[in-house]
């Protein structure tokens, strides 16, 4: 897996708005897709690990879907709050390796 793209690069929303971002990756040799949230001056925090096509995972107001055949994942945040402000990274991994290949991330800012 060489090319991981995330869009948009940055996003500014008002508190209460719902938002979503995209992670695109080559679908060949896919094993798992990881989503991380990275707040400034903190460690990246794992949100989801997804492996199955059509999988959907949810954690509070955040959810993610996975399409392994076409090579994309969406991350949704419902009713954004200022504390959701962070960079959201996705990273697919391949079979026979535990390496993660990271996208450049989507930087989200939620204004009160």
Partner 1 sequence: GAVVSQHPSRVICKSGTSVKIECRSLDFQATTMFWYRQFPKQSLMLMATSNEGSKATYEQGVEKDKFLINHASLTLSTLTVTSAHPEDSSFYICSAGAVGKGNEQFFGPGTRLTVL
Q: Which residues contact partner 1 by CB under 8 A?
A: 4, 31-32, 34, 36, 41-46, 49, 89, 93, 98-105
- Which is nearer to partner 1, 48 or 110 (by Cβ)? 48
The percent of the chain in helix, strand and coil, each rounded to the nearest 5, is 5, 55, 45
d(C-alpha 58, C-alpha 48), whole Å = 8
CB of 100 to partner 1, least distance (A): 6
- Which is nearer to partner 1, 13 or 100 (by Cβ)? 100
Query: Strand, helix or coil at 84?
Result: helix
- Which is nearer to partner 1, 71 or 103 (by Cβ)? 103
- Which is nearer to partner 1, 28 or 43 (by Cβ)? 43
CB of 103 to partner 1, least distance (A): 6
CB of 57 to partner 1, least distance (A): 13
Q: Which residues pair with 22 in a beta bridge?
A: 7, 74
Query: What DSSP state is assigned to residue 75?
Result: E
Do residues 109 and 14 touch, judged by C-beta distance below 8 A?
A: no
CB of 21 to partner 1, least distance (A): 14
Tokens of 31: 């094993």
């Amino acid at each position: 897996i060489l090319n991981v793209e995330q869009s948009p690069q940055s996003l500014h929303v008002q508190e209460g708005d719902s938002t979503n971002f995209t992670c695109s990756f080559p679908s060949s040799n896919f094993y798992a897709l990881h989503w991380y949230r990275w707040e400034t001056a903190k460690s990246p925090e794992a949100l989801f690990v997804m492996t199955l096509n059509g999988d959907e995972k949810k954690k509070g107001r955040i959810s993610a879907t996975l399409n392994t055949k076409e090579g994309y994942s969406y991350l949704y945040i419902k009713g954004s709050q200022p504390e959701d402000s962070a960079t959201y990274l996705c990273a697919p991994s391949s079979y026979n390796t535990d390496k993660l290949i990271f996208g450049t991330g989507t930087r989200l800012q939620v204004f009160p």
